[in-house]
Structure 1
Amino acid sequence: MVVEQRSLRYTIFLAILLLFSSSLSPSAQYVIYNSTAYLPASWTHLDYDSMMTPILRRDNDGPSYVCGFYCNSGGSDGGCLFGVLISQGWLGTGAHLQSSKLVWSANRNNLVQGNATLQLKEDGDLVLANIDGTLIWSSNTRGKSVSGLNLTEMGNLVLFGPNNESIWQSFDHPTDSLLLGQKLATGQKLTASVSESNWSEGRLSLAVGSDGLSAYIESDPPQRYYASSINSYPYYEFRNGSFNDFKIPPASVAQFMKFGPDGHLKVYQWAEVGEFVEVIDLLNLYVGNCGYPMVCGKYGVCSKGQCGCIETTNGQESYFSQIMFRQPDLGCSLITPISCDHSQDHTLLELNNAAYFASDSGSDTIRTVMEDCKSKCLSSCSCKAAVFYHDRNLWDTGDCRVINEVFSIINDENYIGDNTTLLVKVQNANKSRRKTIILASTSGAFFGVVCLIGSCLVFLRRIFKEADEIEGDFLNQVPGIPIRYSYENLQAMTEDFKKRLGEGGFGSVYEGALYNGTKIAVKCLDGFAQLKDSFLAEVQIIGSIHHVNLVKLTGFCFENSHRLLVYEHMANGSLDRWIFGEMRSYSLPWRTRRKIISDIAKGLAYLHEDCSQRIIHFDIKPQNILLDENFNAKVADFGLSKLIDKDQSRVVTRMRGTPGYLAPEWLSSTVTEKVDVYSFGIVMLEILCGRKNFDSSKIEEDRHLLSIFKRKAEEERLEDMVDRKSGDMLIHVGEAVEMMRIAAWCLQGNFNNRPSMSLVVKALEGLVVVAETNLDYDFTNSSTVRTEAAGDQGQVVVYVGSPILPSTLSGPR
């Protein structure tokens, strides 16, 4: 009996202890992670608020390692990768994970979203897939005798076989970092990221070749800024205290080597302050501060660590301007782009007090004389510069190297020698005009009249051009004005407008990237070449408008006939892709749809009521609603809308917009901002129902969304319209129906009975309740609006008066 009582007490004690431990916060519980996993195994990244979701972990007294899903700022932004991180000591606390550093990754060029999965399959393949099942990365070990996955004490991620033999290992596939004991062998390379925040592969690489270790920037051909000159090794190994011929301060703590986005090769080690600090920059002794390809950007001149542009003397015209005056390290651009169609106007600037970082000899270097070197560059349109290395004994003879892409130029006493001349190609904008004038002056009397007319046209063109330049210079001085880019800059940033994101009524949109790696969207406007005043005015006004739910205008191009707008890049594209486009299979959850609707409403409310000038969009549709990486919605193309003053209640203009989203009052050509409210109501229905407002694939009675809306409202079965593709939507049918009633309010036939967008925002936030029995679902019928004072809940109740009349809804117009 006593034994039974003791056993009972012990059981109760264990139960209480278990209950207490389960009540602890997640941060207080310690989760044990193994360093080995056996197939089959699968992991899913579910922790949206964490930078790291561990899969395997190797804890040591010295360097410790963890592999798993790693996100730059938490998984909710959709930018995560599978990788290995290094830290120091026991990884039991979150602080160590926060200070860990990424040293290897599998999918740096193709990040995954939350709910991505990593699978160690029965067939031996290690596979990373996105939430929709899209294959992102694979170890390509299918069919091999893989037994499991192991994270070693050196931080090497290994797929091992039945006898613990290595079948695949991360050490053989380096990214931008090396760990102690890791080798960089012939044929392997480290490739720097685009930037610290953009993990994609950049243009800078460090590789081991037949002639040893070299660092270079990708171009045609590659331009090398470091080459080992002491010995040539088949591999370089990172050891404690050395990297072959490089000496490194030895350490007893965690240490790793990283090839950074700036082209520096640095060693970092754990410090007492609880984070990694730089201990040595291995290449800087040989390269110097100004010897890196992008230290001052393209065409930038580096002088003692300071950046500038190529300057001309003796009254010569200026050929270069800084891309951004506040960030001189972004480089310079040619004021007049080099044109292959006007090669007769090409000339070479001789820079005797400058050198070029890529000074090593190679197959692209030829022995010749100075004049032949110039001719070789001038005769080839792809040549952008040439470096001539003078023979010390025969000054006019030497080695000529042609360069097809110009990066940073060196102007420093540590580099300049008296035996190098840099020849930079520029376009002489005035040369053709001089030739034309000379030719015209020598023409006979027969062509006198023609020449006179031609000269007048040229003169007028010059006046207009100078006027444009003066106005453009004025814009550069206006506070808050977006950045002004040259057309050549935007051509380079978009890779000659290579990737088109979409096409709208105003022109096509292309993806691009700034020199720091930040993505942009560039819209090339069609038919705006003659609209000088309105274009510049709208750039000035719209560029100063900043709202979280409006796509931000960051720059523009106003050059000759080119009119381009530069916007922030929206990672998830336009809304139509997600509700009835190619991403339809990935059904948006209820909370995301509700937030998108609210975001659109807030953006429109700001345009209608909070700007210095009221802005009516006129073309609200899913294609003009863009989504960022967090599915925040932003209204686009408002900068090309009709601007009206605050004191104007209505404006008469030509019919514009998209069929299916046009309000009935367009037929009378008298419109107000309520046309946007009507279009917003259509978009709301499309989001809630997951279909287009007009679908020709449906039977006749179901083709028009508004027809279905009217019919289901009369049958009191609006819940039938809710998008059923997502189980999440079924849980929130009641809320979706309430939002449909707000949409019906926005769609009232009489624009006076529609709410303002600020009132719509309040309705969506629950501060205004729409009385459902008084809505008119005949959206071309006249009605009245009255409101009552706030009730007990602090809400305003709005009654839309007019009985439901049986009439046919208008379809797409």
Structure 2
Amino acid sequence: MKCVRNIYYQSYTFSFVLAFVVLILFHPAISMHFNTLLSTESLTISGNRTLVSPGHVFELGFFKNTLNSRWYLGIWYKNLSDRTYVWVANRDSSLSNAIGTLKFSGSNLVLRGRSNKFVWSTNLTRGNERSPVVAELLANGNFVIRYSYNNDASGFLWQSFDFPTDTLLPEMKLGYYLKTGLNRFLTSWRNFDDPSSGEFSYKLETRRLPEFYLLKNGSPGQRSGPWNGVQFSGIPEDQTLSYMVYNFTENSEEVAYTFRMTDNSIYSRIQLSPEGLLERLTWTPTSGTWNLFWSAPVDIQCDVYMTCGPYAYCDVNTSPVCNCIQGFMPFDMQQWALRDGTGGCIRRTRLSCSSDGFTRMKNMKLPDTKMAIVDRSIDVKECEKRCLSDCNCTAFANADIRNGGTGCVTWTGELEDIRNYIGNGQDLYVRLAAADLVKKRKANGKIISLIVGVSVLLLLIMFCLWKRKKNRAKASATSIDNQQRNQNVLMNGMTQSNKRQLSRENKTEEFELPLIELEAVVKATENFSNCNELGQGGFGIVYKGMLDGQEVAVKRLSKTSLQGIDEFMNEVRLIARLQHINLVRILGCCIEADEKILIYEYLENSSLDYFLFGKKRSSNLNWKDRFAITNGVARGLLYLHQDSRFRIIHRDLKPGNILLDKYMIPKISDFGMARIFARDEIQARTDNAVGTYGYMSPEYAMDGVISEKTDVFSFGVIVLEIVSGKRNRGFYQVNPENNLPSYVWTHWAEGRALEIVDPVILDSLSSLPSTFKPKEVLKCIQIGLLCIQERAEHRPTMSSVVWMLGSEATEIPQPKPPVYCLIASYYANNPSSSRQFDDDESWTVNKYTCSVIDAR
């Protein structure tokens, strides 16, 4: 009996093991090859099986879009809450229903739909059909076909990295493989829910010097500038990250750009958005969301291809932005006077070929290289000789800026698509006739003489001032001791982080602007006369004054103001370094006795809220002016976020902090609460969220999270106020009808968006009908709603906003319902938290308390 029992157990065990082995070998769902598809296996929509890469970062399988329920085979990040697709196989041949099978046919992977209809294939022409092949999803997201016995990358028969869609992943190459003629480029999705090929592409051109082109339906929309050995001359922004290394390869086999990550816990990708923006996005475990690190085009004015025409260059720091090269004049003066520089410029003096010379232009994006000639064997001196010896040569530059500059690039046609940068860029030498060079030398001589004369005069003035100060010092030593003592208190009161920041920048540049004596300020404002008062808030009073023959605005902080020493120094340090037409300019400061005073340029038209919400002044603000103000504020914010010396988050953007000059040009002001970000810093958190209710983003108000999207939210509210003429009463109202986002969204969702337009705008149509453009109004409303979406990652960046405002053809995404639903429900469930506040009260907000601070 015992023997029979043993035989029975052995037979049972053998049967179980055999059944398990059979399941492992023949049932795909239990296969041990989680990242591998064998030649005998298949993937189907109904089977729900996916391939998961080693490390569980990427996943390959079928997915369905929500717009029209079409099915696609694609790759996405596996563990992110917001599903992000990085590759789509059948983007232009989708499956119309949930019937689809991916399997091998010889050495090719083939996707078939209903009735075995062919949909997509790897179209592999090489490979031995008798040798076993497998498909594998690698750890870096590359989907490859290889022989089962060969794991070497050089032996891949096919790989998805050779056929990008809209995304460039680490270790993926963008550019040409010269041996086969393969050009790897990005093509945008049609829209955010449709992965089919859109109208934008990003391609590398290698006709002369390698450079990338952003194309719209095949036509250039933006150009990266040629590779100069360090970077692309048209992308001067620092893209260096501590966790990423990028590389550009140019040899006999390939010309390609790639990057790799040194920290695998951080994800980074480059995406060509449906809007035509090339964006670098990063995801970190701490942020839990995709954040924009860099995008192109950055500046809608100067990054757009051929903004300024031949022999003209674009400069965002000039007005108008188009400028003729030295020795050239506008081709069409009337067109130029209308600030249209597309016609470009022409020479003042014809070239003689024998006596010409060159003018040096610094920090330039080099012209389009389609008519350029490249010789990497000579230096810049030989390059100049070669250009002079060729009567058709119009300009030259170094091909490589490393090691003092090597190689030679010469142009023989018109110089097109040039722009100037404050820093970086490259030297360009443009050929001029001798007469224009003489004029330049004479002009330089006059300038030098003027500088010498002014310098002598300044030395005399400085000597007189020194004598005056010395005499005053003897007469009032006590006053000077008090001033010194107060400045010591000021520096001692600064936080350690501010001290380190100042020390790091330059110990001799603690202010970087003139310190003005209190006596001069008192005289300028007629002893702070009430007659000169321009306005006041929790910080103190602003006076109009006359200082050295110039009208100024004097901001005198009250002794009870909550803008303390840190905030005051923050504002001084920031504004002194910012230079942009849409930012207010600071002229000096005064720190004496108990006074803390800032002196600004005087802006004749006060603040935007004075026009928007003042019954008498609002009639002077037609739609043309409102749209121009919207564009100006957007460009100012873009400068703060991406183009300034520091990366700055304003944190208190509202109409009261947008000032208007006599030409109604908007200027962002009041940087006391601004936050400086490092270039690789994506977001920060604070326990003291200070700002103005109604303009604070939900993640900032509730959790203290600060990012660029904090300002984007505030900008969106301002846009809706500009269109409607109504003040946003904040997100604390239980009744959503008292809430501007609710009011706008209701009309937008019901197709009645134009009904929210300020009646004052409509009343002005009888006299100025051409100023009102319904398409522009609807675009602004849509952009405003996009900016105030609940989740920060859903809001556009300011570069996207500027692009959308300036482009007629750009397809703008549909907004999601604004955040008022979330906040209103929060206060509805917490009645004790709901109360009425004044229009401009500023608050410290978190999940537990609401503590009042003075209005700013």
TM-score normalised by the shorter chain: which range applies?
0.3 to 0.5
Report the TM-score, using the length of structure 1 for normalisation: 0.39
Question: Which has more helix, going by share of residues?
Answer: 2
Report the TM-score, using the length of structure 2 for normalisation: 0.37
